[in-house]
Structure 1
């Protein structure tokens, strides 16, 4: 069996995919990867379907041993990584030889890092998905001693990379009006847009608290709302006026007023913002939001076209002397074409 054996692993490491749909009425939110864009990026680097299972890592990864030659890719929050003692590039695809140790260390930028394998992780599906949904008790965190089976890999190409974007540094997040947006005074909505928030360390896969200076963002007109359906990206305002952005494992219903909803294509920026990073929210209309989302989905689907050959750093090449480095050398003094 092709697999990765878990020698050592950090806290919060779990198998994820794009989650479960159609189960909201049964009390189960979608779940799945906190950064869905990272899943698409890994699929592009390995030239395989986007719905295969990946390994989500929070803060740090672990040490894994390959039982066979395995193609891998790393996306999301940049982490230190070594393959059998040699440093490997992040946001790129590589080969891990049979018996080699893959060591993924702490995060350098962002929050959630992802390990992809050719063929995907072939764990047992639950309710149509391999995603670990901790708050609902589906699946379990990866622990030392586990063996993670790898599916049949139909590809063979490695050595591809994708350009990094800026979602790991905070920034501007676009939101559309929600059910209770108009219940917030106009002054409060304007102040919400003008405020620079900081991602609070108190965050998990259910929601992220946003801190700011000054008074909160209360909506007196919405104090008596009935609990209703909510979705990832909704921004709930608690009784003290504090915003919480709901994430992949949010609850299915809630009674706090929502000042807006983050566009799905911008939710990875919220997920990846490290503690203390600055975030601002910008309202767009529903029509504008639909257009932005459609363009983002098209860009995500076309990521494989953006994957380019990885230029290896000579400092990372242990087998440097085996390469032909002088085949294209020309003389500055001898020009045979000038000879009669």
Structure 2
């Protein structure tokens, strides 16, 4: 089996797929990639299943080698990427050969970056998923010298690229009312949608804290709320009235009031907001949410259609001779020296 060797790795890196469903009642949240759209982008670039596992990297990135020619895709928060010192395009697929060093990081914007490989990271599944759950200690710990097995790659093109929207700098987030929204005073709901929040330094795969100027947000009789099911995208207000956006490794139940829940289509933008990024929220109704919704199958189909060849500058290609630049046959009479 081929393997990806870790030579350097930053904190918070882990193996992730789309997570494990069906365990919420047992106290295990879905987990999986913080930016699920980035996994779909990697699958589109490599023409493979989105269920395959990839490396999720945070801020610092890492360096890697392979022991066989390996197709890779780089998606999510853009990082400075290079192969043996030569820059690589982000949101694109490339070929890494044995003996070459892939270096990633630091991130130039956003939080979560992804390294997908042809065939996927093939670690042993736990409860039906290869996704690490850092809060519970599930999955391999990544450190210098870790060797990650890769599945069999069915093959496909490389040097492909996707033009993706910039979801890495914060912005406007649409939310649906939750069970507790009506418990907030009307003036507090209006103030919430008029407030520009700043993504705090405190945050991880469980959730991110938001800062704001002004009074805290609280509901009536919130100390009497019963703990109930919560899911990624819910916006909880802590006892001090500070909002937290819950992410894949959030707890499965909670008693803090939830002012709303982020639309799934906007959750990648919320998750990718780096410390200091500005976020604003707007309530939408169910019809608007359904109109904006796209299943992951539909998103993947659209991404596959958007993939195009990556045009490279021949002057900057050190491996130019390894490419087939001209192909074809000639037709006509054999050369006889007769020009008539």
8 Å CA contact 2:198, 2:278 repeated in 1: yes
User: How far does residue 314 in structure 1 lie from its aligned partner after superposition?
Assistant: 4.6
Mean Cα deviation higher: 101-110 or 118-127? 101-110
* Structure 1 counterpart SS, 2:280: strand
The residue number in structure 2 matching 1:280 is 280
TM-score normalised by length of structure 1:
0.92
The residue number in structure 1 matching 2:329 is none
User: How far does residue 313 in structure 1 lie from its aligned partner after superposition?
Assistant: 3.7
Q: Deviations over 1:203-226 (max 9, x none)?
A: 010011011111111112433110
User: How far does residue 38 in structure 1 lie from its aligned partner after superposition?
Assistant: 0.1
The residue number in structure 1 matching 2:332 is none
Distance 1:103 1:238, change over 3 A: same
The residue number in structure 1 matching 2:211 is 211
The residue number in structure 1 matching 2:53 is 53
Structure 2 residue runs without a partner (length 5+): 327-340
Distance in 2 of aligned mates of 1:46 and 1:112: 19
* Structure 2 counterpart SS, 1:21: coil
8 Å CA contact 2:40, 2:299 repeated in 1: no
User: How far does residue 318 in structure 1 lie from its aligned partner after superposition?
Assistant: 2.0
Distance in 1 of aligned mates of 2:323 and 2:54: 33
TM-score normalised by length of structure 2:
0.92
User: How far does residue 62 in structure 1 lie from its aligned partner after superposition?
Assistant: 1.1
* Structure 2 counterpart SS, 1:41: helix
The residue number in structure 2 matching 1:198 is 198
Distance in 2 of aligned mates of 1:49 and 1:295: 15
The residue number in structure 2 matching 1:93 is 93
User: How far does residue 134 in structure 1 lie from its aligned partner after superposition?
Assistant: 1.1
User: How far does residue 297 in structure 1 lie from its aligned partner after superposition?
Assistant: 5.9
The residue number in structure 1 matching 2:333 is none
Distance in 2 of aligned mates of 1:92 and 1:192: 38
The residue number in structure 2 matching 1:84 is 84
The residue number in structure 2 matching 1:241 is 241
The residue number in structure 2 matching 1:309 is 309
The residue number in structure 1 matching 2:140 is 140
* Structure 1 counterpart SS, 2:201: strand
Distance in 2 of aligned mates of 1:282 and 1:112: 24
The residue number in structure 1 matching 2:75 is 75
The residue number in structure 2 matching 1:29 is 29
Q: Deviations over 1:60-105 (max 9, x none)?
A: 2111111000000000011111112221111000000122111112
User: How far does residue 9 in structure 1 lie from its aligned partner after superposition?
Assistant: 1.3
Aligned-residue CA RMSD (Å) = 1.9
Distance 1:316 1:76, change over 3 A: farther
8 Å CA contact 1:180, 1:222 repeated in 2: no
Distance in 1 of aligned mates of 2:35 and 2:313: 28
Mean Cα deviation higher: 314-323 or 170-179? 314-323
8 Å CA contact 1:6, 1:144 repeated in 2: yes
* Structure 1 counterpart SS, 2:122: coil
The residue number in structure 2 matching 1:5 is 5
Mean Cα deviation higher: 66-75 or 149-158? 149-158
* Structure 2 counterpart SS, 1:135: coil
8 Å CA contact 1:63, 1:104 repeated in 2: yes
The residue number in structure 2 matching 1:223 is 223
After TM superposition, the structure 1 = structure 2 runs for residues 102-121 of structure 1, keeping only pairs within 5 Å, are 102-121=102-121
8 Å CA contact 2:93, 2:160 repeated in 1: yes
8 Å CA contact 1:12, 1:141 repeated in 2: no
8 Å CA contact 2:230, 2:251 repeated in 1: yes
* Structure 2 counterpart SS, 1:15: strand
The residue number in structure 2 matching 1:123 is 123
8 Å CA contact 1:134, 1:140 repeated in 2: no
Distance 1:68 1:269, change over 3 A: same
* Matched positions, count: 327
The residue number in structure 2 matching 1:18 is 18
